[in-house]
Amino acid sequence: MQANAANSVPERNMVLIGFMGAGKTTVGKIVADRLTREFIDVDELIASERGMPVTEIFKTMGEAAFRRMEKEYIKDLCENKRCAVLSLGGGAFLQEEIREICLSSADVVFLDIPWESWKTRLPLIRDSRPILQNKSDDEVKALYDARQAIYAQHHFKVNAGHRTPEEAAQDLIDWLTTQQRI
């Protein structure tokens, strides 16, 4: 069978998944910087192209519209980028089509953060995440728990709770090296 150049292993994008505030953007930027790769935060891309922050998109257009945009942007990036580091919003992987294209075309890395570590970040991020607004701490915990099965679909996991962003980034790079991706 002939190799498909578009999907050849060294050209794969890296996709970072995980709960809101796990550090996907911070770690992704460090990895991209160290590997001299392009970094794209999908939420930031949507916000800049739509001319409004994600919170505003949720407010004015609704979550369903945001999810449609999120899917189109991620599909497009997966199909057209090579070797980029992509940070996905924490809810993106709930969509089956997004999971399928990422898992088949990219290296999917889960930034895993234990609840006990994550809950200390909640006050810092609540206002900027529409999904967290108007939810009790118990409801946020239920959302966190429900998402774990979705994030379990990955190629590599980094413990983002017990590692600094620099250490987590190095863990990813070490894994890419063992996988002969770099």
List interacting residues with ligand S3P (CB under 6 A).
20, 24, 43, 54, 89-91, 129-131
**Min dist. Cβ of residue 6 to ligand S3P (A):** 27
Residue closer to ligand S3P, measured from CB, 11 or 45: 45
Q: Is-contact 35 106, C-beta < 8 A?
A: no
**Side chain identity, residue 139:** E
CA distance to 24, 54, 71, 119, 150, per residue, from 175 (Å) = 17, 32, 27, 28, 22
**Min dist. Cβ of residue 46 to ligand S3P (A):** 8
Residues 6+ away with beta carbon under 8 Å from 14: 28, 31, 37, 84, 85, 86, 106, 107, 109, 172, 176
Residue closer to ligand S3P, measured from CB, 11 or 143: 143
| End-to-end Cα distance, the chain | 24
**Min dist. Cβ of residue 23 to ligand S3P (A):** 10
**Min dist. Cβ of residue 87 to ligand S3P (A):** 7
φ and ψ of 136, to 5 deg: -75, 165
- Interatomic CA distance for residues 52 and 72, integer angstroms: 17
Q: Is-contact 56 43, C-beta < 8 A?
A: no
- The CB density around residue 46, as the number of other CB atoms within 10 Å, is 20
Residue closer to ligand S3P, measured from CB, 75 or 181: 75
Residue closer to ligand S3P, measured from CB, 30 or 54: 54
Residue closer to ligand S3P, measured from CB, 88 or 176: 88
**Min dist. Cβ of residue 13 to ligand S3P (A):** 17
Cβ-closest position to ligand S3P = 89
